[in-house]
Structures are given as C-alpha cells and as structure tokens.
Amino acid sequence: MVSKNRLLKRRGNGGIEVVAGLIILGVVAVVFFKPERIRTPWQVPVSMSIRKSMVGIGNVVQVRNTSTQVLRGVVVTGRNAGTNSSATYRIGTLTPGQLVEVGWMEWNWRVDPGETVTVSADGFLSIVFSADQLGVRASRSCCISTAEVKRSS
C-alpha cells in the first residue's frame, strides 16, 4: 500500500506540469484565434498597410518585403470567414524593401471589417493580418454598411 505522504508528494510535483500545460494551451489559443498577434522568425518577413482605392472600390493592400533577401512565391489571400469566401493574388517575387500594391483591379477583393489577409511565400510560414489590425473599421453612419480606413497621423 502507498503511504499518504508519498501520494501528497506526487500531487505537489504536478504543479509545474499544470502551469506549463496552461501556458502552452494559451499560446496555441492565441495562435489559432489571433495569429496576427504572434510574430516568429519563420513567418514571411513582410509588413502590410492599407490605403483607400483610387478607383473608389474597397482598399488597396500594400505589402513590403522587410528582409534583406529575395522572397519567392509570394501570395496574398483575402478571407471572409462569415461568408466562407476568399480571393488570391500571386505577387511572385519581392526583392528586399520592395513594396507591391494589391487592390480591386488585381484581385477583386475589398478588405472589409472582420476579414483577414494572409501573406505566404516559399520557405516561410504564412502571416495573417486582420482588417482591424490594418485599420479597417466598420462605418458608424446609420444604415450604411461601408468600411473606412483609420488614418494614422
């Protein structure tokens, strides 16, 4: 029969495993539900910004290579989980520091509130940007469902 003291010792040692498990579970939850919040060196080294379209339809996504290496097989994908729709545009190659703009004319996508934009490239993990993170907010005007881009000063 196992003594009561021995059982208590075993229970006391499990605290570290529980804390470690909760930390791992928390990181997995953040990566799954808010992947844009965590950035790793294995993800595509790009920055993303947005501007209003000059043709008046939606927004233009600006993708910049922030690394010192050439990125190949670069693809931008817009997703709307609510409508289960997406659009993809193949940029191809991005040289160091190069900026490419992708708008309605290129990929037939507006980038509305609640959507995500994913950038992938050969040899890297994809990186996801939310419309909210890019500054696309729902309009506060009554009865009109449009998007406005938050201007940074």
In the three-class reduction of DSSP (H, G, I as helix; E, B as strand; rest coil), residue 53 is classed as: coil
Cα–Cα distance, 107 to 76 (Å, whole number): 9
Residue 33, pLDDT score:
53
User: What SS3 string covers 85-123?
Assistant: EEEEEEEEEECCCCEEEECHHHHCCCCCCCCEEEEECCC
**Could you tell me the pTM of the whole model?**
0.67
For residues 75 and 20, which has the higher predicted lDDT (pLDDT)? 75
User: Where residue 96 falls among pLDDT bands split at 50, 70, 90?
Assistant: very high
φ, ψ of residue 43 to 5 degrees: the values are -85, 160
* DSSP H or E run through 147: strand 147-149
